[in-house]
Chain A
Amino acid sequence: MVKFSEKDGTLICTFEGLLNTVACNEMDADLKEHVENTTGDVIFDLADTDYIASSFLRLCIFTAKAVGTERFNIINTKKEIYDIFEMSGLDDLIKDE
Chain B
Amino acid sequence: MKEYSRLFDTAESSAEDIITYIIGVFSENSFPAEKTNQLRLGIEEAVVNVCNYAYIHNFPVTTGPVEINIKTDGKVFYTEIRDEGIPYNPLKTPNPDLWAPAEEKEIGGLGIYLIKQMTDDISYENDGKSNYLRLTIMA
| A interface list, Cβ under 8 A from B | 20-22, 50-51, 53-54, 57-58, 60-62, 64-65, 68-69, 72, 80, 84, 87-90, 92-93
Smallest CB-CB separation from A83: which chain B residue? B38
Residues of A within 8 A of B16 (CB): 20, 22
Residues of B within 8 A of A72 (CB): 102
| B interface list, Cβ under 8 A from A | 14-16, 37-38, 40-41, 44-45, 48, 96-103, 105, 107, 110-111, 113-114, 117
Q: Is the CB of B37 within 8 A of A87?
A: no
Interface of B is mostly: helix
9 A-B residue pairings within 8 Å (CB atoms): A51-B41, A53-B41, A60-B102, A61-B103, A69-B103, A80-B37, A84-B41, A90-B105, A92-B101
Q: Is the CB of A89 within 8 A of B114?
A: no
Q: Is the CB of B102 within 8 A of A92?
A: yes
Residues of A within 8 A of B96 (CB): 88-89
> Among the listed B99, B103, B110, B113, which residue makes an inter-chain contact with A58, where contact means beta carbons less than 8 Å apart?
B110
